[in-house]
Amino acid sequence: MNNKEVVRVLVTIADLLEIKGENMFRVRSYRNAAATIDGLLVSLELIAETDEDRLEDIPGVGKAIHGKIIEILASGSCALLDDLTSELPAGLLDMLGVSGLGAKKVKLFYQSLGIDTVDDLEEAALEGRLRDLPKMGEKSEQKIVKAIERYRRTQKSSKRFRLDSATAIAAEVTEYLSGVEGVETVEVAGSLRRWRESVGDIDILVTGQDGTAVMDAIAAYSEVVEVIGKGDTKTSVLLAVGNTRLQIDVRFVEGASKGAALNYFTGSKEHGVALRGRAKRMGRKLSEYGVFDEETGSQLAGGDEVEVYKALGLPYIEPELRENRGEIEAAEKGELPCLITEADIRGNLHMHTTASDGANTIEEMARAAIVTGYEYIAITDHSKASGIAGGLDEKELLKHINDINVVARKLKDEGEELIILKGTEVDILANGVLDYSDELLSMLDCVVGAVHSGFDMEGERMTARIIAAIESDMLNILAHSTGRLIGAREPYDMDMNAVMDVAAEFGVAMELNSYPQRLDLKDIHCRMAKDKGLLISIATDSHSTGTFSNMTYGVHTARRGWLEKQNILNTRALGELLKILKKDR
Ligand code: DGT
Ligand code: CA
Ligand code: CA
């Protein structure tokens, strides 16, 4: 249960209570709680895991709703919502999904005309039966018809899936298909192979002896809830994922076409179109079966993807670059970037411990870092303004520094080589001032700064706020700098170009946060940072030892942003890193 899902449940409760005609005071308390949680940057789930009582610190959330939140976090719903949904017609919830229709309008249509489905509402609007209701008219009827059309369209265009859940599901399906008799290779293609931040569906390419057996196998896969289409070489199925559906397209080709098919189905579509245009200009034809000489029809390549590019006069282009953003031109000139790999990563400069909102101690995080193979880490707990995240006040920070030293000494005595940097994730307050004094910040090795409040600030003010923080010259790294949560929260309004220019001037690195719901900086911003000569810190922002593995999402996003080893702060050897972090301090 992420915060957004909790918010959704609370808003639904408020809407249904209002439609039912409950006391407005009660309705409002649910709405207020939802709004507050929507603005939080810390994960309620994580707080609940470590210390449930801390949930009571959420400002403006009373005891009754506090109990509901715990219930929602534990079960995904709560008894009150279950009662409301069984009491009221299910179609009212669909009506609330039509944009422009809030609880007030839905209540009006339901109470006065008995309308309780989107279809009924559309009919009533088309027949002019809504216009005589209070505060309604012909114009508002037309608006509702339009909104319902839009609603139907978005219902159809299926939801996009986060990279981590798609990756996990693809791994299971791949393993399953690999076990089918006669199967030789199973490979993920499509946007997932390009490591896009979200994927529409999962594309899988299979080679082997018997295509029919593969098609039968995927249709019979235990997680499948619907077979959309099934042919000799292509089958599409839907899997149930939570309360939504994820499509899997499985294609079977002969080994002799594998490279070309992989190339075709990896996309992107735009990259494929550009490649086929290039082939044509060379008197060749590129299809999912191979590269062919247009005149003689003889096959020049097909089984191997590297050979496919070669037959088009190009070096191999990594999947992450295939977005038709200049990669073909760069390949032509021999100027493709030498992309960063996970093996280049030496450390991790953003993580939390039980001192603030993490689930593990300094020592546990350090030992997990040793297992991961890191040479250095920075412990960066929250500052005091992030009260809900257990942020440290000045006194607590001093003690924390001492605690880090104690762990560092203990590990050193054991012969471990991990270096633990003392850091903070300091809040950038609404006026751009950092949440600790310069004197205190100077005692730290690594100062990560971030915005944790006031996300709805107007663009010019937000830009000025972040620039002021950079100009304090106390920051080393600007963390998750747009605040977006993929599929859940829009980035805040900010002039990225201006912020990066100032960051370059003050030697501040930008973070690429590896949490699959953040991936912030995103690909095009990484590339912008590279062009401006900024360094990027690819960090996991871990709140527990289990999430160091998210580094892979950060690294692949960096690759989508054309980043190379030298563009990344945490590929540097310790000595060089420390020099960069010290600036002139
Ligand atoms: P997604 O699923 O929306 O995240 O994005 P993709 O890139 O995985 O797109 P998808 O699943 O529709 O198709 C997979 C690949 O197949 C796509 O990247 C390129 C190729 N492809 C699909 N449809 C077309 C098409 O109409 N024209 C061309 N040239 N290629 C296509
Ligand atoms: Ca796809
Ligand atoms: Ca597809």
Give the CATH number for residue 294.
Answer: 3.30.210.10
Identify which of 269, 273, 320, 321 to mutate to test ligand 1's pocket (most ligand atoms within 8 A of the CB): 269
pLDDT band at 247 (very low <50, low <70, confident <90, very high): very high
Say whether both 211 and 105 belong to one domain: no
Q: Is residue 445 a contact partner of residue 423, using CB atoms and an 8 Å limit?
A: yes
Both 270 and 226 in a single domain? Answer: no
List the CATH number of the domain containing 81: 1.10.150.110
Neighbours of 561 (CB within 10 A): 26
Asked if residue 469 has pLDDT above 60, the reply is yes
For the CA of 198, the closest atom of ligand 1 is 4
Tell whether 432 and 558 lie within a shared domain.
Answer: yes
The DSSP symbol for 105 reads H
The per-residue pLDDT for 76 is 77
371 and 297 together in one domain = no
> Does the residue 221 lie in any domain?
yes
Tell me how far the alpha carbon of residue 256 lies from the centroid of ligand 1, in angstroms. Answer: 21
Same domain, 303 and 221: no
Q: Where does the pLDDT of residue 243 fall: very low under 50, low under 70, confident under 90, or very high at 90 and above?
A: low
Whether the per-residue pLDDT at 585 is higher than 60: the answer is no
pLDDT at 155 over 70: no
Instruction: Report the residue among 203, 236, 237 best suited for mutation to probe ligand 1: largest number of ligand atoms under 8 A from its CB.
Output: 203
Distance from C-alpha of 482 to C-alpha of 450, rounded to nearest angstrom? 9
Mean pLDDT to the nearest integer, 58-85: 86
Task: Kindly report, residue by residue over 410-450, the tens digit of the pLDDT.
Answer: 999 999 999 999 999 999 999 999 999 999 999 999 999 99
Q: Are residues 246 and 277 in the same domain?
A: no
Asked whether residue 52 is domain-assigned, the answer is: yes
CB of 91 shorter than 6 A to ligand 1: no
Q: Looking at this protein, which amino acid is placed at residue 59? A: P
**Confidence check: pLDDT of 171 > 90:** yes
In the predicted model, is pLDDT for residue 251 greater than 80? Answer: yes
Please, are residues 352 and 358 in contact by the beta-carbon 8 Å criterion?
A: yes
pLDDT, residue 156, reads 54
Among 155, 177, 204, which residue terminates a domain? 155
Pocket flag, ligand 1, residue 280 (CB < 6 Å)? no
Residue 454 lies in a domain: yes
Residue ID of nearest Cα to ligand 1 atom 20 = 265
Distance, CA of 89 to CA of 79 (rounded, Å): 17
Q: Are residues 184 and 120 in the same domain?
A: no
Instruction: Identify whether 147 is part of a domain.
Output: yes
Amino acid identity of residue 436, one-letter, is Y
Inter-residue contact 365 to 542 (CB < 8 Å) = yes
Band the pLDDT of 584: cuts 50, 70, 90.
low
Mean pLDDT of the chain: 94
Instruction: Beginning with the edge strand found earlier in the chain, give each strand of the sheet holding 234-241 in spatial order.
Output: 183-189, 202-208, 244-253, 234-241, 224-230
Give me ligand 2 centre to Cα 190, in Å: 4
Higher pLDDT, 240 or 110: 110
> In this structure, is residue 337 part of a structural domain?
no
Kindly state if the Cβ of 454 falls inside 6 Å of ligand 1: no
- Residues 347 and 324 both lie in one domain: no
Query: Residues 30, 133: one domain?
Result: yes
Which residues span the domain enclosing 323?
257-332
Residue with tokens 């939140």: 69
Residue carrying structure tokens 């009660």: 26
pLDDT at 77 over 90: no
Residue whose CB lies within 8 A of the most ligand 1 atoms, among 191, 195, 245, for a mutation test: 191
Mean pLDDT of the region 168-173: 97
Task: Answer yes or no: do 195 and 273 share one domain.
Answer: no
As a whole number, mean pLDDT of residues 184-211 equals 97
Query: How many domains is the chain built from?
Result: 4
| CATH number, domain with residue 477 | 3.20.20.140
State the average pLDDT over residues 174-196: 98
User: Which amino acid belongs to residue 457?
Assistant: M
CATH of the domain at 174: 3.30.460.10
Cα–Cα nearest to 290, from 262, 319, 322: 262
The per-residue pLDDT for 152 is 79
- pLDDT 10s digits, 15-64: 999 999 999 999 999 999 999 998 887 888 878 877 777 777 787 788 88
350-392 residue pLDDT tens: 999 999 999 999 999 999 999 999 999 999 999 999 988 899 9
One domain for residues 505 and 359: yes
Q: From residue 152, how far is each of 95, 157, 237 by CA, in Å?
A: 11, 9, 22
Give domain status of residue 218, yes or no. Answer: yes
Q: Token pair 């649910």 is at which residue?
A: 30
Rounded Cα distance between 178 and 181, Å, is 8
Mark which of 120, 155, 190 sits at the end of a domain.
155
Confidence tier at 158 by pLDDT (50, 70, 90): low
In 3D space, the residue among 456, 401, 395, 454 whose CA is nearest the CA of residue 423 turns out to be: 401
Report pLDDT for 490.
86
Show Cβ contacts of residue 32 under 8 Å, excluding neighbours closer than 6 positions.
Answer: 60
d(CA 183, CA 157): 33
Query: Phi then psi for 221, rounded to 5 degrees?
Result: -60, 135
User: Ligand 1 in contact with 381 (CB < 6 A)?
Assistant: no
Global confidence as pTM: 0.80
Q: Average pLDDT of 562-577?
A: 98
Give the rounded percent of residues in the chain with a pLDDT score beyond 70: 99
Q: Please say which residue of 252, 276, 296 terminates a domain.
A: 252
Q: For residue 446, give both structure tokens.
A: 């690594």
Contact by Cβ (8 Å): 73, 383: no
Q: Same domain, yes or no, for 145 and 172?
A: no
Among the listed residues 321, 382, 318, 311, the one whose alpha carbon sits nearest the alpha carbon of residue 350: 382
Rounded to an integer, the average pLDDT of 484-504 is 93
pLDDT band for 487, please (50, 70, 90 cuts): confident
For the chain, give percent helix, strand, coil, nearest 5.
Answer: 50, 15, 35
Summarize pLDDT for 252-278 with one digit per residue, the tens. Answer: 999 999 999 999 999 999 999 999 999
Cα 544–chain centre separation: 18
Assigned domain for 426 exists: yes
